[in-house]
């Protein structure tokens, strides 16, 4: 009985460790947070040290109206934004 408990605890610990490792994997931004289209890396806004990409010029303007709304959305989706280049 004691061996079964040890095995079960070990399995739970391994499962939790595996889940944490998966959560740590960065998920790069590939879609526009405003319209959901594929990003164009020529269209971006640097916000709080992070670079946010958009599908078109209109989306960057929309983002600037309420950036926290879109930042929270991307965070909830597990998206890891690129850092702004040095000096930005």
Please write the tens of the pLDDT for every residue from 21-30: 455 678 999 9
- What domain range includes position 74? 27-83
Q: How far apart are CA 88 and CA 52, in angstroms?
A: 13
Q: How far apart are CA 70 and CA 79, in angstroms?
A: 11
29-66: pLDDT as tens digits: 999 999 999 999 999 999 999 999 999 999 999 999 99
Question: Would residue 8 count as lying in a domain?
Answer: no
> In sequence order, which residues have a C-beta less than 8 Å from that of residue 37 and are 6 or more positions away?
31, 55, 56
Domain count, the chain: 1
Question: Would residue 63 count as lying in a domain?
Answer: yes
Question: Would residue 10 count as lying in a domain?
Answer: no
């Amino acid at each position: 009985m004691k061996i079964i408990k040890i095995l079960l605890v070990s399995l739970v610990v391994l499962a939790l460790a595996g889940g944490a490792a998966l959560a740590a994997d960065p998920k790069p931004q590939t879609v526009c947070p405003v319209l959901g289209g594929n990003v164009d890396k020529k269209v971006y806004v640097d916000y709080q040290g992070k670079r946010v990409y958009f599908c078109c010029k209109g989306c960057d303007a929309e983002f600037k109206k309420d950036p926290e709304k879109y930042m929270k959305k991307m965070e909830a989706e597990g998206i890891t934004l690129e850092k702004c280049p040095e000096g930005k």
